[in-house]
Chains A and B, each alone.
Chain A
Amino acid sequence: MKQLGYEIVESIAIAIEQVYEHRMRSLLTALGVMIGIIAVTLMGSAIRGIDVGFTSNLSILGMNTFYLEKWPWKDVGDNWIQYRNRPPIPASYSEKLNNSILSTENSSLIIAVPMVKNRRKISKDDRNIQGVEIIGTNADYPLVDNAEIELGRFLSEVEVLRGRNVVVLGHEVAASLFPEDLEESIGAYVNIQDIKYKVTGVYKKQGSVLGIGNFDKNVLMPLPSMRKFFVSKRYHSATIKIQKKEEASFEDATDEITGAVRLIRGLKPGQKDNFSINQSTAVAEEIAPVKRGIAIAGFGITGLALFVGAIGIMNITFVSVQERTKEIGTRRAIGARKRAILIQFLMEANMICLIGGIIGVFISFLIKLVLQRFIPEFPLIMSGQLILVAMLVSVLTGIGSGIAPAWKASRLDPAEALRHE
């Protein structure tokens, strides 16, 4: 056992010596492994980044929140026309739903809040920001939303009832209209289509959302003010945001909403639902194929690069065995067992792979830094676990590529190897 230990230490020393001796050759040989490790590390970082980013996005959408809408969030494909022909969801459904919640014993739900949306440009003096999502709602909105107010306050009951021209700005909107000092925004007036609105509050930054929209680019105002100016009552479909009780199950909550809306709409048994109840988990299902795509591409590139790299290392190790046949003979003559020679060349192949792996991880780290600097919303998270996996993959590649030449070296006839020049 002790002897094996010393043999391993010796083989590490030889491997370092050999790699240093043939620096250029080793580095070029390690290139394939390097690329493979970069691919596997970046892929892992991207998947992890998407996962983490998504979980935080889902919490913005609300884990206990349902969205009653005309359209489902999933891809409707060729059936879109059937969805288009559904009647719009009027904002007044929120009140009807709230009545239903009140009259239901042990309701699974807490409250329903209407949201009517439209996109507009907002300006302040010579500054403006395009494509802002204007949401008309009521004073109960904070009950169905996790976002926190950074400055000022949310819309008041009275402002909503009277249809006052007041707004709460998303963080990005406030930051672009009041770049010097965010506090100036409270009480100031902004213009939406030449109408003045007084700012009552500004939201905290929520972060961007992968493909589901940017919640920092929202503006909230009383539903009646929204109505007055932008939306045709008859055709515009609203979103009803419904909060379920923490302890209630998703099935019960969905059943309750479905029953209530069917009752409101007077649908007969057998008639299909003509509305959609959307939930944040539906989005998670949507993202699964994206993650799968990244994983497949990543594994493909990784596998190919590692395979090519492993062949290169195998080749160079065969060359090394050939070059050092006499040395192998000498070592055998002075008492090295077969396993000592096997370990020696395995270690040499491994050293090249490990160097490739370390450089690969380092380059991945640099790529990550650069990406995050220039595309900050690109989600990449490099965990220690991932780096460990990358190193393990390098070592396995090293063993895989070194085993054949090392085996050959250890089986050489010592007498013949000694005669080799």
Chain B
Amino acid sequence: MNSPVIEIVGVKKIYDLGETEVRALNGVDLQIVENDYMAIMGPSGSGKSTMMNLLGCLDTPSEGQYLFAGEDVAEMTDDELADIRNRRIGFVFQSFNLLAKATTLRNVELPLVYAGLHPDTRRERAKEALVKVGLSDRMTHRPNELSGGQRQRVAIARALVNKPSILLADEPTGNLDSKTGEEIMALFDQLHQLGNTIILVTHEDDIAMHAKRCVRLRDGIVESDKKI
């Protein structure tokens, strides 16, 4: 039933630091299918962040092949990468990364501005997304008027608003207390059940346990890839 959304074959990411080179990823193979719920784990320096940047099309591999919905990311122009990020990927960050001066609604609308949608359509879609994350009563608030959990919900709404193929969350509960963190994870579980593909990058086992699949990285290679 599930066709691969992301296919990674022999991907390497090498940073040239002058005299030495750092092999952040040293030959990774990975397949992510539709409605996957995957956690990427690993100690610091394992290549987690690099993996996240590559999956999110913020960066391109030095070697190997990265196919996003069958298209080779390495051959894309910067604008094409921006469009992939805009339409196919929804980012959720550890520190929320909301615009401090903008209202909830405007924050959620932002990806649609870069998608070139009409303001009325933007508003409508942003409201829908906010309903999904249970914040329909907070549309005109600014981030500093919201709790941490609420801010992360706004960020999730922003990630969802353009109906992306995958949700990419980088330590989404890292800045939250454990109770609020659980609430956010419950939201992810719910979104997974609604059919979304979710990739979590985390170093916490509790968080990873929510996923259905756990990929462990170590020294730039996949150490293990298990179903949970």
Contacts and interface: CB of A to CB of B under 8 A. Distances in A.
Interface of A: 2-4, 6-7, 10, 17, 21, 326-327, 329-338, 340, 413-415, 418
Contacts of B141: none
Nearest to B116: A3
Given A326-B97, A415-B53, A337 B114 contact: yes
Classify the interface of chain A: helix, strand, loop or mixed: helix
Contacts of B116: 2-4, 6
B115 A335 contact: yes
Contacts of B188: none
Contact of A330 (B78, B93, B115): B93
B82 interface: yes
Contacts of B171: none
Top 3 nearest A-B pairs by Cβ distance?
Answer: A335-B86, A3-B116, A330-B97
Interface string B95-110: 0010101000000001
B91 A334 contact: yes
B101 to A, nearest CB: 6
A335 B87 contact: yes
A40 B83 CA distance: 44
A327 B59 contact: no
Interface string B43-68: 00000000001001011000000000
Nearest to A410: B78
B81 to A, nearest CB: 9
Classify the interface of chain B: helix, strand, loop or mixed: helix
Nearest to B102: A17
B153 interface: no
B205 to A, nearest CB: 25
B12 interface: no
B86 A334 contact: yes
B79 A3 contact: no
Nearest to A419: B49
A331 B53 CA distance: 15
B78 A418 contact: no
A341 to B, nearest CB: 10
Given A330-B97, A334-B86, A335-B115, A414 B79 contact: no
Contact of B110 (A17, A334, A414, A418): A334
Q: Chain B contact residues (Cβ within 8 angstroms of A): what range?
A: 20 to 34
B203 interface: no
A101 to B, nearest CB: 79
Contacts of A334: 85-86, 91, 110-111, 114, 158
B69 interface: no
A301 to B, nearest CB: 37
A186 B154 CA distance: 88
Contacts of A333: 56, 58, 85, 91, 97
B113 interface: yes
Residue with the highest number of chain B CB atoms closer than 10 Å, among A2, A332, A334: A334
Nearest to A339: B79
B101 A331 contact: no
Residue with the highest number of chain A CB atoms closer than 10 Å, among B58, B91, B115: B58
Contacts of B113: 6-7, 10
A77 to B, nearest CB: 68
B60 to A, nearest CB: 10
Given A3-B115, A332-B85, 10 more contacts: A3-B114, A6-B113, A331-B114, A332-B82, A334-B91, A334-B158, A337-B79, A338-B82, A340-B114, A418-B93
A292 B78 CA distance: 51
Nearest to A334: B111
Contact of A338 (B79, B93, B97): B79
B114 A7 contact: yes
A335 B97 contact: no
14 contacts: A6-B113, A6-B117, A7-B113, A7-B114, A10-B113, A21-B101, A330-B93, A332-B82, A333-B58, A334-B91, A335-B82, A335-B114, A337-B114, A418-B93
